[in-house]
Amino acid sequence: MSGAADLSSFGLGSDSFITVLTGAGVSAECGIPTFRGAGGLWRTYRAEELARPEAFREDPRLVWEWYDYRRGICAGKQPNPAHHAITRLDEKVSDFLLITQNVDNLHGRAGTRRLVELHGNLFRARCLDCGAVTSDLPVPLPEIPPHCTCGGMLRPDIVWFGEALPEKAIREASEASRDCDLMVVAGTSAVVQPAASMPLLAKQAGAHVIEVNPDPTPLTPYVDLHLEGKAGEVMPGLVDSILELTSP
Ligand code: OAD
């Protein structure tokens, strides 16, 4: 699947606001397991069991070991053609926002600057005592659990199940979803809220929505176009098609 798509009926132009919503599938071709696909288990644990405040309170060492394992995997991978294609949109479209659920930092490493990380970032940690955020912890961690310079224990700067998303991130993402003309939804199972409702917000407000995924999701019946395929194969051509219509 090349991703070249006929978007001529979408009414896009140089003043169109383009958003992209990504999930773990966008990094799958880098060799990073998705959450709900094969390889999503660590030891015997599912993500939902460990990505919770109660799990951290009970066994911070276990939870940090899982995050450090994931930091190690992600640090050793390179952005793929889907990440680079999204960076081209960021560079060339005047009104653009990437909303990502991914915590792997690969969009940032690919050079995308206008982005909202809804679920945080694996390479940041936050002090439970003083609240300071640090992004310079070594990979792998020399000490688990790691501690802040103030002596307090650090936690991953990740939004866990049962926790509220950062207010600024959710506001920016919701506003962009309501205001955009086109949303491309790539590599997400569209089951975790509130991210899963962003494309529906966009649709209700009159935007066109394109989904890129090898499989159907609960969102598929509502989208204008479902491009069946891998993000790394579909996104470059799709971005070319969008840029053809939005370039001044
Ligand atoms: P999931 O693992 O739930 O879904 C991954 C999606 O990517 C599935 O729909 C796959 O079909 C699709 N996929 C697989 N390979 C692909 C490829 N090469 N190209 C495109 N799509 C592909 O991941 P998310 O939807 O991101 O939260 O999960 C949402 C949240 O649940 C995550 O952010 C995480 C998790 O628990 C936190 O960590 C807080």
List, for the chain, all residue ranges whose pLDDT scores fall below the cut of 50: none
Instruction: Give the per-residue pLDDT at 1.
Output: 60
**Cα–Cα distance for residue pair 52/165, rounded to 1 Å:** 13
Name every protein residue with a CB atom under 6 angstroms from any ligand 1 atom: 23-25, 28-29, 34-37, 47, 51, 101, 103, 119, 159, 186-189, 192, 212-215, 217, 230-231
Q: Helix, strand, or coil here: 41?
A: coil
Longest dimension (CA), the chain: 58
**Cα–Cα distance for residue pair 13/62, rounded to 1 Å:** 50
Please report, for the chain, the start and end positions of each structural domain, with discontinuous segments joined by +: 8-31+79-119+165-246, 41-76+126-158
Instruction: Give the per-residue pLDDT at 133.
Output: 97
Which DSSP letter does residue 96 get? E
Instruction: Give the per-residue pLDDT at 37.
Output: 84
Instruction: Give the per-residue pLDDT at 40.
Output: 79
State which fold the 41-76+126-158 domain adopts. SIR2/SIRT2 'Small Domain' (3.30.1600)
**Cα–Cα distance for residue pair 231/210, rounded to 1 Å:** 12
Model confidence pLDDT, tens digit, residues 212-242: 999 999 999 999 999 999 999 999 999 999 9
Instruction: Give the per-residue pLDDT at 110.
Output: 98
According to CATH, the superfamily of the domain at 8-31+79-119+165-246 is TPP-binding domain (3.40.50.1220)
Q: Which residue has the tokens 């590599």?
A: 187
Burial of 164 (0-12, 13-18, 19+ CB in 10 A): exposed
Instruction: Give the per-residue pLDDT at 38.
Output: 78
Q: Which residue has the tokens 């799709």?
A: 238
Model confidence pLDDT, tens digit, residues 191-213: 999 999 999 999 999 999 999 99
